[in-house]
Structure 1
Amino acid sequence: MHRPAALQRIIDVYFQETSRTKTVKAGTQVLKQDGFNDRLYWVKTGELSGYLNAEKNELTAKVFSVEPGMFFGVHSFFAQTQQASTTVIAEKDSVLAWIDLATPAVDVETFGSLTEQFMPVMVHELAQRQMLTGLQAIEKEKALQKLYAAEQMTTLGQLAAGIAHELNNAVGVLSSKTEIVQGAICQFLEENKPNASPFIDLGICEGQSSTSAQVRQRAKDLVSQYPLLSREQARQLARALPQGEVPEYWFDDIDEALQYWDVGRDLHDMRLAAKHAANIVRSVKQLGGSDQDYQSDVDVNDTIHKSLALLQSNLRRVNVILRPAVLPTITASSTELVQVWVNIIKNACDAMEQTDEPKIEIITRYSKNRLMITISNNGPMIDEVTRRKIFQPNFTTKKGGLSFGLGLGLSIVQRIVHSYGGTIALRSDEDKTKFRIKLPIV
């Protein structure tokens, strides 16, 4: 340890006398608050702590620690009160050296009185105590911030529980009525128009799984293969049949076939949306907890497809590019993962409202026992100040209109990702804003 020369001289001259050296065991009380003390101690080895007791409320607080090379008893020695201001207890076995008020000054002609010689000690201790006080203040502020955040999230959780209860009732009605309507429509068609059943059944069972880019490419191929198709018919047929040959019976009445498939697709989406709405409401209720229905075989790519299906209306003008890799399944809550992707993609759509050719690219990869999901968009750059705050609860850039926000979406996203032992990072420049999520394979 490097010490100023004046401080090193004091240690060499005054604290090497074996008769003024002692060993104390861990737990030994060296000084007692308000007790007699006429010594200045220097710690050779070990560790001690100073405690301050407030007699009125019987609270005791640790106010300083002393380690090898440090001093204690400074106040009572130099102020000559001979009364310890704190209780000092050895935390570890320690070796202490000391001087007392009877110790004579050495080489007074050159270095002055004992007080003058020990001025470096007083300055050194003052600096140490000031630094400790500053660090304690910082830790206290951090603790208060965590306490405020915890209290805020608790209040939010209580409010969310009440809202979620009401929403659950509404979602339950939508879900059950959707099933009833679906059953009634299917029964009616079977009895009155059986030829329509294959089309509506396909829409109900499969829905639409293709992205907008895939639909555009498939539509081009269909127009080339079936010249009599209009562009709109080709696009709708590409949604209904994303691959393979088109069966002959589709062309008996293509418009009617597509109409019935569209009804089936809407029923499929309504059921899917009702199911996910119920699960997302449950997740909002659990802002302060993590009770979820976990499965051991969740396909992340499948959860991304589900999120895109839920956001079809938001993605109508967006070019979605999906580059999925073959991924191992993970143990997770499918609903929570859908919630992650929905929040990020929906935010991207909102950010690109003024972008001429909005584009979202989603890439999944598997490497080194981790899944990596990257979601990027070509919207405006997010400035550095916003990037630092973007995952904080209650921070939002959506201030008005139908796009207002509560500032909870990305906070919940981060909580979910962290609950899986994963990480989420944001990068943004003039060309691209990118969220990168890494999830471990457990």
Structure 2
Amino acid sequence: MDTLAALQQIDELKDVPEEQLNWLINNSEFHEIKQGETMFSPGDPINRLFIILEGDFTLRLKRNNQFVNVGRLQKYTITGMLPYSRAQSARAYAEALSDSSVISLDEALFKEMIRDHHELTTVFVHAMSTRIRQFTKQEQQDDKMMALGKLSAGLAHELNNPSAAVVRSSKELSKLLKISPDKFKNVIKIKISDEEIDRITTTLFQKIDGNIKEMNLIEKSSLEDELMDWLDDHGIEDADELSANFVDFGITEDDLESFSEAIPDSQQNAIFSWLNQVFKTEKLVSEIEDASQRINDLVSSIKSYTHMDQAPEKTPTDIHVGLNNTLTMLNHKLKDVKVVKNYAEDLPKASILASPLNQVWTNLVDNAIDAMEDQSQKQLTISTKKEGEFLNIKIEDSGTGIPKEIQDKIFDPFFTTKGIGKGTGLGLEFVQQIIKVQHKGAVYLESEPGKTIFTICLPITEA
């Protein structure tokens, strides 16, 4: 291969003086990489500049125990260590898709190149700038897609339970309304006076509309046994089913006695069966109403969270709404976390961009949850307070903490303490950009093992 001719085919290098290209060739190592072999792997030090003269490579990253193709390095690509780059180690596998030829220059020669070969150095610095822009754009897109994937999975999980409850309860209600012919005959043959009907229905609707006392399992089982014994003693059919439903609505043995006194013996089975039907119907309707309300609340939270029906401009907004909506969005990850809200009463509205600020809450809360992953006691505390002309929002977790030696780096672009595939290092940088640049606020960190606090300071009026 005529290496000089190959280098001159590269757009970035075609105007570089020939003697500088010859210096590059004379000081480079040549590599023949077979199909399936790697040019570099995750963890390898980035200490050489690579130029692909023949062949191409796929970049593969391991995420959640699966390999994902994240890019491609084609013929004539300049990659690896570049002048003034701060990259330290590779994050992906560069696997050859075909037999390839590559030259590499050790970074130990960069000082000589920078001193003596200006045009060549300029090309590589421009290549680094382009790579940073492309990498940042791709990482931002990946971060958004990852956040969207998490959000979608959480919403699917949260919607599944109430939607399944609606389906289940509606089917049970349909069955209940199709009562058997024998039960229907018994109901329409009931003959009691208006006074007796009023006595029964008054108690019935008092129980339906009343506040039912919370009972533990032992108390509930004991009361069910008492009611079942009473029903059995009075020859009432399906005593086990009736007792379970009656207990749910706070019916006591005294209530059963009151019903019995108002009902002729020949009508008792029919009346108690009818009461059971009413209670079961009320219970199913209540379940459907509750599940439907949960779905409606979740959809409303999504709309408010994204502010998809509002213009992207600062408006006076209740901070608590965004915080609560964020907790709703992340509820699927908070099942075993104790959430404490120390919200200040009468907190004034702040002039904010609601949707970007919700991304701040999402990043901080999501990071807090991840930090508590291996903790036995998990507590997330969110506090709000007015201090002068500012609002202070504190998000505290009982996680492992952030080591002091890296606390001054956590807002740097691409810095992350998470494993490969679990974070891009863009989250906290975005937090700082949204708070400092868009809202003219500030972000503060306090951290020690078992306690990490991020404090967001926002001006109340538009800066």
Above 0.5 in TM-score? no
Question: Structure with the greater relative contact order (CA < 8 A, sep ≥ 6): 1 or 2?
Answer: 2
TM-score interval, smaller chain: 0.3 to 0.5
TM, length-normalised to structure 1: 0.43
